[in-house]
């Protein structure tokens, strides 16, 4: 962010100690100190931070991050996806971290809006409710009516939030770099990459034009998906600090009783939500990664409407193919194929044994098979997969971690709507169909034709580049080889180096003779 210089190490250490005190007061440093994989310097810093504090018996990680501030809230939500990094207990606690803060005074919000549009609010909205309907760490949302009479929701960044996030993230980067430098388990968990992805996600959230563009792109991908809606963007009333979208009238998807009272089939809603997520993640490779209960509504006609597109996940086509095969392999018990994919994708280093990895996967998958529907859990299986990554030196894959977080969220909502839902039964037909369409012989032939045609079309451009690099010889004859001539300043430098080496040699010889003489005289030895 503009206007922020590079902080000194003392500044970062002071911030870390201050945050450490807050973590200590909530008992959140206990796990760091007791973990045998924690580097010794980090343990010492944790002990210094908690010195003189009174710690509760049960750690409250969510409360600690909430007290530290807005950037920490977002970081805590990110760490909730990393049970391998923070531990199972902390991850479960952080999943409860709610992004709710007291609202900013409307006078500040109004000034921010008018400064960003360079015109008064009344020129853009006929009505603007000064009381927000929600306030989070980054922005707050107000209900409004445009001058054209359209009901909208207006999202406004909190004043000064960009600068605050920039300061805090700079310290996260500094701390992650030093943590990773310790090597071992700290390096395998790739903390620098975690913070880099966190920074990228938050930067997207801090530019509301990016969020609006994400909503628009997702809506384009979901065209033709019945019963799932993305609100439209009012681009005339959207900029980097303000975003205006169509108002959604509906019941929060968490209010199961109200949904049933309105006459909706909750089992059908649960299945539709799962399939909508699979279409985003596997077919489109672009998914809503913040699908918690507060961001999903059920409209009067039964349509599921999603809001808040600040956090989005993206997976390239090749990774989607691997993911689909992994999911399908786990549902069918084909652990050998799942293991092979991990090696093909280079998630697991090649010096490990494929069959051994397949056996480890079986240890995760088989306990889930044959159990009652109500006991099957995608989340449990994914947690089990995390548990074996350390044994096989599997480096973390940030894009898959975000996907895992979202899958757990979707599973939680779907199970609340329909306790009897089997995520595997709902997912398998879609995944099977996608694999057939994308990996079948017809798709393979089409891909080969497309790739080969593209290669042929690139040949003329390749020839032109080669000619630019190696132009044809002109009419002048080729120059003869020229003798190497030592320049006088090069000669002086060479002689100076020689004198220096001679001096070193003389000093070494003289020192050796002196030591020999002293030994002969009995002065030393």
Q: Which residues are part of the catalytic machinery?
A: 290
CA–CA gap between residue 131 and residue 154 (Å, rounded): 12
CA–CA gap between residue 373 and residue 424 (Å, rounded): 9
CA–CA gap between residue 18 and residue 195 (Å, rounded): 19
Tokens representing 95 are: 């999943």
Chain Cα centroid distance, residue 60: 24
Contact 320, 285 (CB under 8 A): yes
Concatenating the DSSP letter of every residue in 185-243 gives HHHHT-HHHHHHHHHHHHHHHT-HHHHHHHHHHHHHHTTT-TTEE-PPB-GGG--SSEE
β-pair type (312-314, 296-298): unpaired
**Residue whose entry in the numeric block shows the structure tokens 């009995």:** 522
Range list of β-strands (E), 255-344: 286-288, 296-298, 304-306, 312-314
Tokens representing 228 are: 């799932």
CA–CA gap between residue 396 and residue 354 (Å, rounded): 19
Integer angstrom CA distances of residue 365 from 148, 193, 329, 336:
56, 29, 10, 12
Tokens representing 141 are: 């949302």
Contact 227, 325 (CB under 8 A): no
Instruction: Count Cβ atoms within 10 A of the Cβ of residue 188 and give its class: 0-12 exposed, 13-18 middle, 19 or more buried.
Output: middle
User: What is the helix (H) or strand (E) element at residue 154, kind and residue range?
Assistant: strand 151-157
Residues, the chain, total? 525
Instruction: Count Cβ atoms within 10 A of the Cβ of residue 91 and give its class: 0-12 exposed, 13-18 middle, 19 or more buried.
Output: buried
Q: What phi and psi, each to the nearest 5 degrees, are found at residue 299? A: -80, 170
Q: Choose among 412, 353, 349, 348: nearest CA to 380.
A: 412
CA–CA gap between residue 401 and residue 365 (Å, rounded): 19
């Amino acid at each position: 962010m503009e206007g922020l210089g590079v902080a000194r190490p003392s500044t970062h250490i002071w911030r870390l100690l201050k945050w450490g005190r807050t973590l200590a007061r909530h008992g959140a440093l206990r796990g760091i100190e007791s973990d045998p994989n924690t580097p010794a310097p980090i343990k010492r810093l944790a002990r210094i931070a908690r010195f003189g504090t009174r710690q509760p018996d049960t750690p409250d990680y969510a409360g600690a991050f909430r007290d530290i501030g807005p950037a920490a809230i977002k970081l805590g939500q990110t760490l909730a996806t990393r049970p391998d990094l923070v531990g199972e207990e902390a991850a479960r606690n952080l999943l409860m971290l709610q992004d709710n803060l007291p609202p900013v005074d409307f006078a500040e919000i109004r000034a921010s809006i008018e400064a960003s549009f360079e015109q008064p609010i009344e020129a853009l909205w006929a009505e603007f409710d000064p009381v927000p309907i929600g306030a989070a760490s980054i922005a707050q949302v107000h209900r409004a009516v445009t001058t054209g009479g359209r009901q909208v929701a207006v999202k406004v960044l909190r004043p000064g939030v960009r600068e605050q996030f920039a300061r805090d993230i700079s310290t996260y980067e500094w701390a992650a770099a030093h943590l990773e430098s310790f090597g071992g388990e700290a390096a395998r968990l790739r903390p620098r990459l975690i913070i880099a992805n966190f920074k990228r996600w938050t930067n997207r959230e801090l530019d509301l034009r990016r969020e609006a563009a994400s909503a628009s792109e997702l809506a384009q991908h979901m065209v033709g998906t019945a019963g799932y809606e993305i609100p439209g963007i009012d681009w005339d009333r959207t900029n980097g600090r303000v975003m205006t979208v169509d108002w959604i009238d509906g019941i929060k998807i968490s209010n199961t009783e109200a949904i049933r009272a309105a006459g909706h089939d909750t089992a059908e809603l649960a299945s539709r939500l799962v399939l909508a997520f699979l279409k985003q993640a596997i077919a489109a490779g672009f998914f809503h990664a913040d699908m918690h209960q507060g961001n999903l509504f059920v409209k009067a006609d039964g349509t599921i409407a999603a809001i808040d597109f600040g956090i989005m996940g993206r997976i390239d086509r090749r990774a989607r193919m691997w993911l689909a095969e992994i999911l399908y392999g786990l549902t069918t018990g084909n652990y050998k194929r799942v293991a092979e994919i991990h090696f093909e994708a280079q998630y697991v280093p090649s010096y490990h044994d494929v069959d051994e990895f397949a056996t480890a996967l079986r240890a995760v998958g088989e306990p889930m098979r044959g159990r009652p529907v109500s006991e099957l859990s995608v989340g449990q299986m994914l947690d089990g997969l995390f548990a074996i990554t350390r044994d096989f030196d599997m480096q973390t894959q940030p894009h898959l971690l975000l996907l895992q977080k979202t899958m757990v969220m979707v599973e939680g909502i779907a199970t609340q709507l329909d306790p009897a839902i089997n995520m595997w039964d709902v997912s398998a037909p879609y995944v099977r169909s996608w694999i057939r369409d994308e990996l079948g012989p017809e798709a393979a032939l089409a891909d080969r034709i497309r790739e080969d045609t593209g290669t042929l079309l690139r040949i003329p451009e390749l020839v032109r580049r080669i000619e630019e690099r190696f132009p044809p010889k002109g009419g002048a004859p080729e120059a003869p080889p020229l003798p190497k001539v030592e320049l006088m300043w090069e000669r002086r430098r060479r002689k100076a180096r020689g004198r220096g080496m001679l001096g070193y040699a003389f000093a070494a010889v003289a020192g050796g003779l002196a030591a020999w003489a002293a030994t002969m005289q009995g002065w030393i030895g």
